[in-house]
Structure 1
Amino acid sequence: MPDRPLSRLALAVMLPLVAAAAVAEIPVPTSFEWIGAAELPRGATFEGIPVGGLSSLSFDPASGEFLAMSDDRSVHGPARVMRLRIDLATGRLPPDGVSVVGQLPLADRLGRPFPPRSLDPEGFALTPDALFVGSEGEAKVGLAPFVAEFDRAGRWRRDLPLRSRFLPDGRGTRGVRENLGFESLARSPDGRFLFGATESALSQDGPQADFGVGASARLLRWDLGAPEAPPEEFVLAIEPIRGAPPGAGAFRVNGLVDLLALSSSRLLALERQYVEGVGVEARLFLVDLAAAAPVTDFDRLPEPPPRSAGKLLLLDFGGLGVRLDNLEGIAFGPQLPDGRRSLVVVSDDNFAPAEQVTQVLAFAVDFTPVTIAEVQGPGHHSPFAGRWVTGVEGTVTALVDRPRDRGFWFESVRPDDDRRTSEGLFVAAADVGGVEVGAALRVGGRVLERVPGRNQLSVTTLELAALERAPAGEPLPAPPLLWYELEIPRQVDDDALALFEPDEDAIDFWESLEGMRLTLPDSVVAGATRSFGEIVVLPEGVPSTGTSAAPAAAGDSWRRRSRR
Structure 2
Amino acid sequence: MISHVNSQNIITTPSAKNISAIKFLGEYDIPFNLKYKNTTVGGLSGIDYDAQNKLYYMICDDRSEKNPARFYTAKIFITAKGIDSMRFTGVVNMLQPNNTVYPNNKQDAWHTPDPEAIRYNPVTKQLVWSSEGERIVKAADTLLENPSVIAITVKGKFKNNFQLPANLTMHPTEQGPRQNGVLEGMSFADNYKTLYVNTEEPLYEDGQRAGLEDVDTYIRIFKFDVESKTNTAQYAYKLEPIAYAANPANGFKINGVTDILSVGNNKLLVMERSFSTGRLPSTIKLFITTLDTATNIKDVQSLKENNNFVPVTKKLLLNMDDLGIYIDNIEGVTFGPVLPNGHKSLLFIADNNFFPFEKAQLLLFEVVE
Match of 1:199 in 2: 200
Aligned partner of 1:290 among 275, 289, 292: 292
Q: What is the distance in 2 between the residues matched to 1:105 and 1:189?
A: 29
Question: For the residues of structure 2 that align with 1:292 and 1:192, how far apart are their CA atoms?
Answer: 20
Question: Structure 1 residue 187: deviation in Å?
Answer: 0.4
2:259 alignment counterpart: 258
Higher relative contact order (Cα pairs below 8 Å, separated by 6+ residues): 2
Work out the CA distance in 2 between the residues paired with 1:19 and 1:152: 19
Residue 221 (structure 1) shift: 0.5
Structure with the larger strand share: 2
Cα deviation, residue 305, structure 1: 5.4
Aligned residue number for residue 52 of structure 1 = 42
Instruction: Tell me if the contact between 2:245 and 2:276 (Cα under 8 Å) persists in the aligned partners.
Output: no
> Could you tell me how far apart the structure 2 residues matched to 1:198 and 1:72 are?
19
CA distance in structure 2 between the partners assigned to 1:264 and 1:243 by the alignment: 34
Contact kept in structure 2, 1:91 and 1:336, CA below 8 Å:
no
Say whether the 8 Å CA contact 1:293–1:306 is kept in structure 2.
yes
Q: Residue in 2 aligned with 1:359?
A: 361
Query: Distance in 2 between the 1:55 and 1:35 partners?
Result: 21
Q: 1:149 Cα shift?
A: 1.2
Alignment of 1:127 onto 2:116: no
> Do the aligned partners of residues 317 and 54 (structure 1) sit closer, same or farther apart at CA in structure 2, a change above 3 Å counting?
same
SS at match of 1:231: strand
Match of 2:183 in 1: 182
User: Is it true that 1:276 corresponds to 2:277 in the alignment?
Assistant: yes
Normalising by structure 2, what TM-score?
0.90
Given the alignment, which residue of 39, 43, 65 partners 1:75? 65
Aligned with residue 310 of structure 1, among 310, 313, 316: 313
- Correspondence 1:149 to 2:151: yes
Cα distance per residue 1:244-266 (max 9 Å; x no partner): 44332121011000011123621
Decide whether the 8 Å contact of 1:57 with 1:329 is kept in 2.
yes
1:322 to 320, 325, 346: 325
Amino acid at match of 1:226: S
Partner of 1:444: none
Runs of 4+ in 1 over 6 A off after TM superposition: none
Q: Does structure 2 retain, via aligned residues, the 8 Å contact 1:91–1:338?
A: no
> Partner residue of 2:167?
165
CA distance in structure 2 between the partners assigned to 1:157 and 1:315 by the alignment: 37
Question: 2:152 & 2:232 partners in 1: Cα distance?
Answer: 18
Work out whether 1:23 is the aligned partner of 2:12. yes
User: What does 1:161-560 align with in structure 2 at a 5 Å threshold?
Assistant: 161-171=163-173, 173-214=174-215, 215-227=217-229, 229-263=230-264, 265-278=266-279, 279-301=281-303, 302-304=305-307, 306-352=309-355, 354-367=356-369
CA–CA distance in structure 1, aligned partners of residues 214 and 350 of structure 2 = 25
Larger Rg: 1
Distance 2:327 2:117 in 1: 21
Aligned partner of 1:452 in structure 2 is none
Asked if residue 114 in structure 1 is aligned to residue 102 in structure 2, the reply is yes
Q: Name the SS for the 2:82 alignment partner.
A: coil
Q: Give the whole-Å Cα distance in 1 for the aligned partners of 2:92 and 2:101.
A: 11
RMSD: 1.7
Mapped to 1, the partners of 2:104 and 2:288 lie a distance apart of 37
Q: Is the 8 A contact 1:177 1:203 kept in 2?
A: yes
Contact kept, 8 Å, 1:166 with 1:174, in 2: the verdict is no
Who is 2:108 aligned against?
none
CA contact (8 A) 1:334 1:341 kept: yes
Task: Label 1:305 to 1:82 Cα distance change in 2 as closer, same or farther (>3 A).
Answer: farther
Provide the C-alpha distance between the structure 2 equivalents of 1:120 and 1:163, rounded to a whole number of angstroms. Answer: 19
CA distance in structure 2 between the partners assigned to 1:305 and 1:78 by the alignment? 45
Cα offset, 1:49, TM superposition: 0.6
Contact 1:190 1:263 in 2 (8 A): no
Per-residue CA deviation, residues 5-58 of structure 1 (Å, 9 max, x unaligned), is xxxxxxxxxxx4323552375413123111111101111111121101111110
Among residues 134, 150, 154, which one is paired with 1:138 in the alignment? Answer: 134
Unaligned runs of 5+ in 2: 106-111, 137-142
Give the aligned residue type for 1:186. S
User: Residue 88 of structure 1 is aligned with which of 53, 70, 78?
Assistant: 78
Q: Is the Cα–Cα contact under 8 Å of residues 246 and 277 in structure 1 kept in the other structure?
A: yes
Identity in percent: 26
Normalising by the residue count of structure 1, what TM-score does the alignment of the two structures yield?
Answer: 0.59
Contact 1:40 1:99 in 2 (8 A): no
Q: How much does 1:90 deviate? A: 3.5
Q: Contact (CA 8 Å) 1:138, 1:179: kept in 2 or not?
A: yes
Deviation string for 1:518-548 (max 9, x for gaps)? Answer: xxxxxxxxxxxxxxxxxxxxxxxxxxxxxxx
